[in-house]
Structure 1
Amino acid sequence: MSITRVHNFSVSLDGFGTGEGLTREAPFGHAGERLHDWMFATGWDGAFDVDHAFARLHDPGIGAEIMGSRKYGPPGWEDDPDWRGYWGPNPPFHTPVYVLTRHARPPIEMEGGTVFHFTDAPPAEALATARAAADGRDVRIGGGPTMLRDYLAAGLIDHMHLVVVPILLGRGVRLWDGLEGIEADYRVEATGSPSGVTHLTFTRTTA
């Protein structure tokens, strides 16, 4: 059965999933790449360790992705008809991707099988569409923190992998606001890494 999955979503010690001041040159604002340094040091760049073991689970079994508008582009991308995402001509998704935005536009076909669709549907409706496109495979909920929070609040996340990075951002967009007690719906497991990050997995235990 198809499930919803979150992978490699990094948050700071104070709970921020992105920094302040997002631009085309700084997709995570003042956080820079500090939330994701742990990933760049994995087997993709040479080290095969616990971080690599978690990072490599990102793609297998995924048939579609849902992402928020701020993952797709910085503030103002909606007014640029030529904006095609941060990832160049061959994005790393290779599936249908549903971008949640109030600014509709025709789908964009990219190299490698990625097709960006733009929808203002509420979470459950967007998920139903993505599940149909995934054709029995799982749906990845890609972030950013605002849309992930909405999906958690709606009870639509089955499995979530978070990475707590030992930095303090102080400002940006927090993940956990309004989600008090949500851990009661999940089995939570923690795995430390020599890199200093902590991998948390949340597996739903309630229907």
Structure 2
Amino acid sequence: MSKLRVNAFTLSLDGYGAGPDQTLTNPLGVGGEALHKWMIGTRTFRKMTGKDGGTTDTDEAFTVRSFENVGAWILGRNMFGPIRGNWPDESWNGWWGDNPPYHVPVFVLTHHKRAPIVMEGGTTFYFVTDGIHAALKEAKSAADSKDVRVGGGVATIRQYLQEKLIDEMHLAISPMLLGSGENLFAGIDMLKLGYRCTEQVATPLATHVVIKRT
């Protein structure tokens, strides 16, 4: 049965999934890039960015798991780019260049209509203006019985959590403090929503936890 998953989503020790002040040159906000040291050195990530080598340890294993059996993605508008409001033109095609790392259909939540964008490598961005439920319905249909992965950002994951729609989350807790930004769990009672931690593994660069809805 198809699941709605969050994978390889990194949080600071104080619960922030991105730093403040996201810009074109600083897409993860102030301090946000440092959260992801655990993944940057893995073999999978280096291959995605056109580099050789990389670690084959626990961090790599969780990175590999994050891409398994994924048939579609859902992204918030901010995960697609820094542009806010109406699309001024159609020149912006995402942070990742001509060949994004998804290689499956990607459904972007937005309030502003835009035609689909066909990219290299099998990625097509679709822009959904009818909310999270409509995006999930379209994504599950496109995934063809595979899982749907919510890539973020924090606000998008929070919306799906509050509706108890996420089946499983893998979070990587980075050993650093951000102090401010977007907090994933603020005001959300995960126990009341039926979530439990089912797995935890520590590495030098992150503590990996898996949370499932029971």
Could you say whether these structures have the same fold, taking a TM-score greater than 0.5 normalized by the shorter chain as the test? yes
Q: Using a 3 Å threshold, how does the CA distance of structure 1 residues 81 and 201 change in structure 2: closer, same or farther?
A: same
Instruction: Determine whether 1:82 maps to 2:91.
Output: yes
| 8 Å Cα contact 1:164-1:197 kept in structure 2 | yes
92, 100, 105: which is aligned to 2:109? 100
Change (3 A) 1:121 1:184: closer
Alpha carbons 2:17, 2:32 under 8 Å: kept: no
Code of the aligned partner of 2:55: A
Structure 1 segments unaligned to the other structure (5+ residues): none
Q: Secondary structure at the match of 1:106?
A: coil
Residue in structure 1 matched with residue 51 of structure 2 by the alignment? none
What are structure 2's unaligned runs of at least 5 residues?
A: 47-53
Percent of matched pairs sharing the same residue: 44
Q: In structure 2, what residue type is equivalent to 1:31? A: G
Match of 1:185 in 2: 194
- SS of the equivalent of 1:36 reads helix
TM-score of the superposed pair, with normalisation by structure 1: 0.93
- TM-score normalised to the size of structure 2? 0.90
1:60 alignment partner in structure 2: 68
Looking at structure 2, the residues matched to 62 and 182 of structure 1 have their Cα atoms a distance apart, in angstroms, of 27
1:52 to partner: Cα distance: 0.8
User: What is the letter of the counterpart of residue 2 of structure 1?
Assistant: S
How far did residue 190 of structure 1 move? Answer: 4.2
Paired residue for 2:146, among 125, 130, 137?
137
Structure 1 contact 186–204 (Cα < 8 Å) conserved: yes
| Counterparts of 2:119 and 2:179, CA distance in 1 | 36
CA distance in 2, matches of 1:68, 1:144: 6
- Residue 111 (structure 1) aligned with residue 120 (structure 2): yes
Residue deviations 1:24-60, cap 9 Å, x none?
1111110242111110122334211111111111212
Contact kept, 8 Å, 1:96 with 1:114, in 2: the verdict is yes
Higher alpha-carbon deviation: 96-105 or 115-124: 115-124
**1:187, distance to aligned residue in structure 2 (A):** 3.1
Which segment drifts farther, 169-178 or 38-47? 38-47
- Distance, in Å, in 2 between the alignment partners of 1:88 and 1:183 is 41
1:89-127 deviations in whole A, cap 9, x for unaligned? 000001110000101100000000100001122222211
Give the equivalent residue in structure 2 for 1:30. 30
Is the deviation greater in 26-35 or in 83-92?
A: 26-35
- Structure 1 segments of 4+ aligned residues over 4 angstroms from their partners: none
Letter in 1 for 2:35: L
Give the whole-Å Cα distance in 2 for the aligned partners of 1:68 and 1:202.
21
What secondary structure, in the 3-state scheme, does the structure 1 residue paired with 2:60 have? helix
